[in-house]
Amino acid sequence: MAKDYYQILGINKGATAEEIKQAYRKLALKYHPDKTKGDAEGEKKFKEINEAYQVLGNESKRRQYDQYGQAFDGSTRGGFSGFRPEDFSRFTQDFGDMAGFEDIFDAFFGGGGRRRRNPEQAHRGSDIEGHLQVTFAEAAKGVKKKMGINCSRICEVCHGSGAADGKLATCDKCGGHGELRVNRRTILGTFAQVQMCDTCRGTGKKPAKACRTCRGDGKVTKSETIEVDIPAGIDSNQTIKLSGQGEVGWRGGRSGDLYIVVTVLSDSRFERRGADLYRTEGLSYPIAVLGGEIKIDALDERLTLKIPAGTGGGEVFRLRGKGLPRLDQTGHGDLFVKVEIVIPRHLTLKQKRLLEDLGEEL
């Protein structure tokens, strides 16, 4: 039967993108190889979780999966379960710009037909995600931060070959061809699908004797500290990509990438909207009426704001270029200051009499 990715992540079909991401992170942490310590079932579960998130975490793939995924049955008995001619018509319309039948076949079987999956892609390491927290001031100026990550690195014993003595032998599963031929029954008939050998991953070779340290994988999981350059003006939930810093590739393959999601702590003095900052300042009644100057806080300085006579409560003043740096652009945002008239609650007898006199005068 087709895999139920929603069930794998423990969510319902109407889950939001954020709910999908939270469910994935929770399960990925629970079944990470560091936690399961090489348990076969744990590793299998971890792969299923990642597979499910690759589909449901992508809006386009999720839409296709919701429409066609549940109808697909990859067993040799079932072909397509409940597949109707009109379903195939809609499918071919969705992929109308494909070159021919092989492309449609690839869409069903993920790279079947006469095509061979690219070994380089199969050997590439997985991308990983990390999280980093910075203060508002650090985000405003930019900063270098250190963070710890757990990821796979090349085995130092076998130097990534997976072989104890560096010697490789012909893969006994594919006979050194690097690919396997599998017959698939579909609504259109039986097809011979050529797929990459899952033992040697298309190389046709395997370690004559597996390295004891990495068990033939050519990589081991390590903890390390990296330095991340946080650019000035970054906002919460923005991502920094570190190319080649993800999981190491399989037996010398290209490493994946590391994506760091940044969280920026709030500052009670400001409300942020992109690169612009907003704050509210209290204004005494005499200054509002007569005009004057007040001191206000900007990012890292105290500024003098001139208040014209007759300023009313709720008026907003704009200080150009006093906001945050614009990420990947030149210049800064602006600082908007809203003034509110401060009404004193406790007055002396003299103050009351003066206000009464003022009231009569006005």
- C-alpha span between 123 and 175 (Å, rounded): 19
Pick from 261, 132, 294, 154: nearest CA to 213: 154
CA 156 to each of CA 37, 38, 335: distance values in angstroms, whole numbers, following the listed order: 19, 19, 54
For the residues of 175-207, what is the DSSP string, one character each? TTSSEEEEEEEETTEEEEEEEE-TTTTTSSEEE
Q: Was 200 annotated as part of a binding site?
A: yes
**19 by DSSP, 3-state: which?**
helix
Q: Was 155 annotated as part of a binding site?
A: yes
Q: Which amino acid is at 343?
A: I
- C-alpha span between 187 and 65 (Å, rounded): 19
Residue 101 and residue 189 in contact, taking contact as beta carbons nearer than 8 Å: no
**234 by DSSP, 3-state: which?**
coil
**83 by DSSP, 3-state: which?**
coil
- C-alpha span between 279 and 294 (Å, rounded): 14
How many residues can be counted in the chain? 362
**73 by DSSP, 3-state: which?**
coil
Q: Which amino acid is at 257?
A: D
Pick from 65, 86, 71: nearest CA to 20: 65
The upper half-sphere exposure of residue 280, i.e. CA atoms within 13 Å in the direction of its Cβ, equals 7
- C-alpha span between 194 and 64 (Å, rounded): 24
| Neighbour tally for 188: CB within 10 Å | 13
Residue 338 and residue 279 in contact, taking contact as beta carbons nearer than 8 Å: yes
The upper half-sphere exposure of residue 4, i.e. CA atoms within 13 Å in the direction of its Cβ, equals 7
Q: Was 151 annotated as part of a binding site?
A: no
Annotated binding site for Zn(2+): 155, 158, 171, 174, 197, 200, 211, 214
